Amino acid sequence: MTETTKTHVILLACGSFNPITKGHIQMFERARDYLHKTGRFIVIGGIVSPVHDSYGKQGLVSSRHRLIMCQLAVQNSDWIRVDPWECYQDTWQTTCSVLEHHRDLMKRVTGCILSNVNTPSMTPVVGQPQNETPQPIYQNSNVSSKPTAAKILGKVGESLSRICCVRPPVERFTFVDENANLGTVMRYEEIELRILLLCGSDLLESFCIPGLWNEADMEVIVGDFGIVVVPRDAADTDRIMNHSSILRKYKNNIMVVKDDINHPMSVVSSTKSRLALQHGDGHVVDYLSQPVIDYILKSQLYINASG
């Protein structure tokens, strides 16, 4: 497959991140590596979306702290970003609504940076001051400004780094082929763009608990978007999926990361990292990155049994 026929993916992880652990970041890396090895996908971004304060989980520290810790955890990554939208809402948001928000946001963003070759868009590019005269993205008089696939993907990447927006689940947009004869005939290439929910096998297993998830939401999450599962503690994902009619129905939309890395729950578990902090356990460095540990100690977080 060529680069443009592969499905371009952004991975979205929702969770408490209380605090974010090394294991959470490793999940992104393992998922990206696995998807690339399939030869069918190109992962162009990752988003960490911490849950709203009103989620009500015991020991959940303020989103202000959790956002900062997440930002510290990904500060050296060139493809994973932290998105504050979920935290900034008036109340808790479902996973389904978070996915739909990012899909709709990216639709608006791509509407700004993509335009029909015959009808130049006059919509300002994301980040462009609204009180300035917008420049059309496509200009017949200037070959160098034509929206080639490479230029447009670069523009989306810039937007992602600024506002953590993502692409729609399964849609195709038309780009001008950068090798086309721009003087006469235009050729086109289509790039498929998807947003996939990244999770551990524990979240997948929670789909099987009666009444825990809204079934309509499950249909949207698994059926419309799709999920990438990083198994933990050698979980039997096939067995888990067989326990849910919805998971069985959309089994082809569930990608289970298969590699040779053992992924013990303790590496990912925020609970174990909090316990290590409370007991002054030096093994906390196995769970958390040093910048996150430094921030926790400075802010005096998780120093008592309640959180």
Q: For residue range 51-102, list pLDDT tens digits in order.
A: 999 998 999 999 999 999 999 999 999 999 999 999 999 999 999 999 999 9
Confidence (pTM): 0.77
Q: What is the pLDDT of residues 225-276, one digit of tens each?
A: 999 999 987 789 999 999 999 999 999 999 999 877 665 555 688 999 999 9
Given this structure, which CATH class describes domain 7-116+191-266? alpha beta
Which tens digit of pLDDT belongs to each residue from 155-198? Answer: 455 555 544 433 333 444 433 334 434 343 333 345 678 899 99
**H or E stretch at 240:** helix 237-242
Give the model's confidence band at 223: pLDDT under 50 very low, under 70 low, under 90 confident, else very high.
very high
Burial (Cβ within 10 Å: 0-12, 13-18, ≥19) of residue 260? exposed
C-alpha–C-alpha distance, residues 141 and 128, integer Å: 22
Distances (CA, A) of 47 to 71, 74, 159, 237, 256: 11, 10, 13, 24, 19
19 prior amide bond cis, ω within 30: yes
